[in-house]
Amino acid sequence: MGRDGKITIKDIAEMAGVSKTTVSFFLNGKIDKMSPETRTKIQEIIQETNYRPNIAARTLNQKKTNLIGVIIGDITNTFSNKIVKGIEDTARKRGYQTLIGNSAYDPEMESSYVSRMLTLGADGFIIQPTTGFHETSQIILGERKPFVYFDSKVYEDDAYWVKTDNYTATYHAIEKLIQKGYKNFLMIGADPSRLSTRIERSSGFTDCITGNGLQFKNLEIRDGAIDKEEVEKFVRENMDTEQPTLVYVPNCWALPEVYRALQPLKDNIPEKLGIIGFDNVEWAEFSYPKISTIVQPAYEEGQKAAEILIDQIEETNEEKIHQTLKCSVNWSESTL
């Protein structure tokens, strides 16, 4: 037995009258060349002794663990929940399990999760990367592990990614709202430079407006720290008394808070004040008035990310390494 009194592979080997290598092969599923008698004997001893292998130790010796590391920027929102569900459902069907980490968009936390998951033997990673992910990506590449970006396209020629058409979807939605009669535009969102997704959404908004000869104003809010009075004041001071004003909220987590801040102006919706955001479909459906939202196919994005990664792990090369999925728009009562 080991120093802690637990049964070891050596003990199992001695009881079964075989080598430690044979027991290790059995535990790792390499039994093709093992006789039925040997397999039965080892299995019976394992059951009798209630032996439990040291997973961490085994992963150091295994080339493949069927574990996938998944690192999410913010696990608390509905979009992320659907992404994870899509990943897990697909992974499970293919015989893989997932390890989930929430980075809170912190590069150091992101790197820490990667290191720990590598220690556990993760075969590959699905990552919603921060803009500081490049250094961590080199560590993964050094370990020869594949990884797939989702939601945020990192502009590397050899990167694998799946994302949604944030720029195009935003551009077309705003263009339609211009045609509906909105002429004055306000954007209330977090610092776009932290994620490529935010850059695409803000660029789709600004490019459409300036391309149509119109103007906009922007209020930048801090992640998780929305000042409702500041939001209401910003909108109230910049509403056009003669032409309809549209408020665009590109961050799904910010949409409910911005909407609550604008409750004193609710009677102006949608004729004088329109609101459109991203995702948060369930909440938007139960708000009053119901909110128009640009909707990402989150579950499908998770499925596709898992398919691309497993394709790389198993080297089947059937999936396209760059995939962009189309968003839809759920038009509702908050816009004309």
Of the given ranges (4-8, 167-171, 192-196), which has the lowest mean pLDDT? 4-8
* pLDDT at residue number 195: 76
Please write the tens of the pLDDT for every residue from 10-37: 888 899 999 888 887 887 667 777 888 8
Q: What angle do CA 258, 71, 79 make, to 5 degrees?
A: 35
Please write the tens of the pLDDT for every residue from 241-261: 889 999 999 999 899 999 999
State how beta strands 292-295 and 273-278 pair.
Answer: parallel
In the chain, pLDDT over 70 holds for what percent of residues?
Answer: 92
d(CA 115, CA 294): 35
Of the given ranges (84-88, 166-170, 285-289), which has the lowest mean pLDDT? 285-289
Please write the tens of the pLDDT for every residue from 120-158: 999 999 999 987 888 889 889 888 999 999 987 665 666
Please write the tens of the pLDDT for every residue from 200-218: 999 999 999 999 999 999 9
CB 302 within 8 A of CB 98: no
pLDDT for residue 185 is more than 80: yes
C-alpha 86 chain-centroid distance: 10
| Section 59-83 average pLDDT | 84
Q: What is the CATH number of domain 67-164+298-325?
A: 3.40.50.2300
Per-residue tokens: 141? 């590449």
| Section 272-290 average pLDDT | 93
3-state helix, strand, coil in the chain (%, to 5): 45, 20, 35
pTM of the model: 0.78
pLDDT tier at 2, thresholds 50, 70, 90: very low
CATH code 1.10.260.40 region(s) in the chain: 9-53
CATH of 166-296, one of 3.30.70.20, 3.40.50.2300, 3.40.640.10, 1.10.1740.10: 3.40.50.2300
* pLDDT at residue number 220: 94
CATH code 3.40.50.2300 region(s) in the chain: 67-164+298-325, 166-296
Task: Find out whether the peptide bond into 244 is cis, omega within 30 degrees of 0.
Answer: no
pLDDT for residue 60 is more than 60: no
* pLDDT at residue number 3: 45
Mean pLDDT, the chain, as a whole number? 89
Q: What is the CATH number of domain 9-53?
A: 1.10.260.40
Q: Is 321 exposed, middle or buried (0-12, 13-18, 19+ CB in 10 A)?
A: middle
- Top pLDDT among 48 and 55 is at 48
Closest CA to 90 of 316, 297, 302: 302
Closest CA to 79 of 130, 174, 151: 151
